[in-house]
Structure 1
Amino acid sequence: MKTSARIAVQLFKYLGASIAGTLVHYSLLIILIRSLSLKPLWASTSGAIAGAMVIYVLNYFVTFQSTRGHISASSRFFFIAAICTAVNGWVLNFAMTQMNLPLAPAQVFATGAQFSVGFAVHRGWTF
C-alpha cells in the first residue's frame, strides 16, 4: 500500500479510536459533574485520562498495529497523553474564562486542539 494511502487509513482508524476515547472522556465528564459536583476542569481531566487509556489500546492494536513493546509504547503514549491532557485543561480553561464559551463548545474546542498533533506524534514516535 502506498504511504499516502496507509497514512489515510491510519488517520481514519485514529479518528475512530479518538471518537471512542472521547465518548469515554465526555461521559465521565458529565457523570463526575452531575454525580459528584466536581468542577469542570477536574472532571474533564479525569475523563481525558480514562479516554487516553481506551485510545492507547485501540491505537496500539488497531490503528498502528505496533510491534514496539508495551513498556516503550505505553510510556511514550502516556507522556504525550499527559501533555495533551495539560493542553486540554489549558484550552478548556482559556475558552471558558477568556472566550466566555459554555462548557460543551469549550470542551469540543479543547479536544480539536489536540487531535492532529497527537496523530502526528503518535504515528512518528510513539508506535
Structure 2
Amino acid sequence: MPKLLKQFLTFAAVGLCGTGIQYLVLWLGVEFLTMKAALASGIGYLLGSVANYLLNYFFTFKDQHGQKSHREAAAKFYTIAGLGWLLNTALMVLFVEYLHWAYWPAQLLTTAIGLVWNFAGSRWWAFRHPASA
C-alpha cells in the first residue's frame, strides 16, 4: 500500500475518535440542550481536536515529524484545526440555517470536507519534518 494512502487511512481512523466526540456533543447539544446545530457542532469540533492532535502526533505522523516539538506541531495543527473549525461551523450554518437541511446529513458532508482539509494541512504543514520541506 502506498505510504500516502496508508497515512490517510490512519488519519481517518484516528479521526473517528475526534469525530465521535464531536457527534456526541452535537447530538446532546441539539437534542437535550436545545442548542443550534452549528454551535453544538463547533463545540464538539474543538473538544474532538484535542484527541485528534495527540493521536496524530503519536501515531499517524510519528515518522514524519522527527524531533519536531509539541509546541511547533501543536501551533501548526491548531492553525489548521482553527481554519477547519471555521469551515465546519460556516458549512453547518449554511446547510442547516439557510438551506434547511437536517443536521445529520449536513454534518456528514461537512465532516467529509473537513477530513480532506485537515489531512492535507496536517501532512504537508503541521507535522512535516523540516528536512523534508
Match of 1:32 in 2: 29
Match of 1:18 in 2: 15
Match of 2:56 in 1: 59
State the TM-score, normalizing by the size of structure 2. Answer: 0.87
In 2, Cα distance between equivalents of 1:13 and 1:107:
21
Equivalent residue letter for 1:72: E
Match of 1:76 in 2: 76
How far 1:125 moved relative to its partner? 0.6
Percent of pairs identical after alignment? 27
Equivalent pairs, count? 124
Equivalent residue letter for 2:98: Q
Is contact 1:29–1:44 with CA below 8 Å preserved after alignment? yes
How far 1:28 moved relative to its partner? 1.3
Q: Against the structure 1 CA distance between its residues 43 and 119, is the aligned structure 2 distance closer, same or farther, given a 3 Å change threshold?
A: same
- Secondary structure at the counterpart of residue 8 of structure 2: helix
Equivalent residue letter for 2:112: G
Structure 2 gaps, min length 5: 128-133
State the TM-score, normalizing by the size of structure 1. Answer: 0.90
Match of 2:131 in 1: none
Give per-residue Cα distances to partners, 1:48-88, cap 9 Å, x unaligned: 00111111111101001033100000011111101000000
In 2, Cα distance between equivalents of 1:57 and 1:125:
16
